[in-house]
């Protein structure tokens, strides 16, 4: 059950990573931009994985009482997905902001 949230969240994260990759396809002419985009996608996926596993470990396991498990045990799967998605989104937002800054910078030529 440890990886259930990743299994459910994974396809959506890969889709968002593909959208990021496809959105900048035309402007990815230099090797720097290709490396930057690849790094953003990989860092975002790794961050999502790490935060989801960390979120799973932070949720306390509830005791089984006389009438079975207490309500709220679903949070053992929901919180890792939220942590993973939040980490992924944070890295992507920083990556998009950096990409926009890359695009807005004009090459500086020699001044006369």
Report yes or no: 8 and 81 within 8 Å, Cβ to Cβ: yes
Domain ranges in the chain? 4-61+71-104
The pLDDT assigned to 105 comes to 67
pLDDT computed for residue 31 by the predictor: 83
Residue 108 token pair: 């500086």
Tell me the per-residue pLDDT of 54-90, one tens digit each, with 9 for 90 and over: 888 887 766 666 666 665 677 778 888 899 999 999 9
Q: Alpha-carbon distance 33 to 27, whole Å?
A: 8
Give residue-wise pLDDT tens across range 16-39. 999 998 887 777 777 888 889 999
- Check if the beta carbon of residue 25 is closer than 8 Å to that of residue 41: no
Q: Read off the pLDDT band of 4 (50, 70, 90).
A: confident
What predicted TM-score, i.e. pTM, was given to this entire model? Answer: 0.78
Long-range contacts of 59-65 (CB under 8 A, 24+ apart): none
């Amino acid at each position: 059950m440890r990886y259930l949230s990743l299994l459910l969240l994974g396809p959506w994260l890969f889709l968002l990573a593909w959208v990021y990759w496809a959105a900048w396809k035309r402007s990815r002419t230099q090797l720097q931009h290709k490396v930057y985009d690849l790094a953003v996608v990989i860092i975002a996926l790794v961050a999502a994985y790490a935060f989801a596993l960390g979120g799973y470990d932070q949720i306390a396991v509830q005791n089984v009482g006389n009438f079975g498990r207490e309500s709220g045990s679903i949070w053992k799967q929901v919180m890792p997905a939220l942590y993973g998605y939040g980490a992924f989104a944070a890295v992507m937002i920083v990556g998009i902001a950096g990409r926009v800054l890359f695009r807005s910078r004009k090459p500086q030529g020699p001044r006369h």
